[in-house]
């Protein structure tokens, strides 16, 4: 790696040099810090969020019924409860919809009777 007097990369000539070594050499030559504590914190936060995302993807697959063979019975209980809660919610919405349909039906029947007479 060759740097100009201003610290700019002029040429990359060694295939055995890794990017981290090249950046370290640049920091030494230029005296500029490329990666400070803020970047370290951001990097750690990105890693944490990626891990959380991976865990959520796994949980979503489990809720979809995928990859359940790898779970033990204790891990299946919360999934079963979540599915049961979801099913209860769907049934409640169905009942509300059915009540609304019956109400509309009664209103239409009453209006029909009123219009006939």
Give the model confidence (pLDDT) of 60-71 as tens digits. 998 888 988 888
The whole-model pTM stands at: 0.49
The predicted structure's pLDDT at residue 8? 73
Which SS3 state, helix, strand or coil, does residue 46 take?
helix
Burial (CB count <10 Å: 0-12, 13-18, 19+), residue 26: middle
Question: What span, in angstroms and rounded, lies between the C-alpha atoms of 101 and 108?
Answer: 10
Please say if the pLDDT value at position 23 is more than 90: no
Query: What's the pLDDT tens digit per position in 94-113?
Result: 999 999 999 999 999 999 99
> Residue 63, Cα to own-chain centre: how many angstroms?
15
Residues 6+ apart with CB under 8 A from 83: 63
Question: What span, in angstroms and rounded, lies between the C-alpha atoms of 87 and 81?
Answer: 10
Please say if the pLDDT value at position 56 is more than 90: yes
Average pLDDT, the chain: 85
Per cent of the chain over pLDDT 70 is: 89
In the structure, what pLDDT confidence band is assigned to residue 55 with cuts at 50, 70 and 90?
very high
């Amino acid at each position: 790696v060759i740097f100009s007097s201003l610290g700019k990369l002029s040429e990359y000539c060694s295939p055995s040099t890794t990017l981290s070594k090249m950046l370290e050499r640049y920091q030494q030559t230029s005296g500029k810090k490329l990666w400070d504590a803020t970047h370290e914190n951001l990097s750690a936060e990105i890693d944490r969020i990626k891990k959380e995302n991976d865990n959520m993807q796994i949980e979503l697959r489990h809720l979809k019924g995928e990859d359940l063979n790898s779970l033990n019975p204790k891990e299946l209980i919360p999934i079963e409860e979540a599915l049961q809660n979801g099913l209860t919610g769907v049934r409640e919405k169905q009942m509300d919809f059915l009540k609304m349909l019956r109400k509309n039906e009664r209103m239409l029947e009453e209006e029909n009777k009123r219009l006939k007479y």
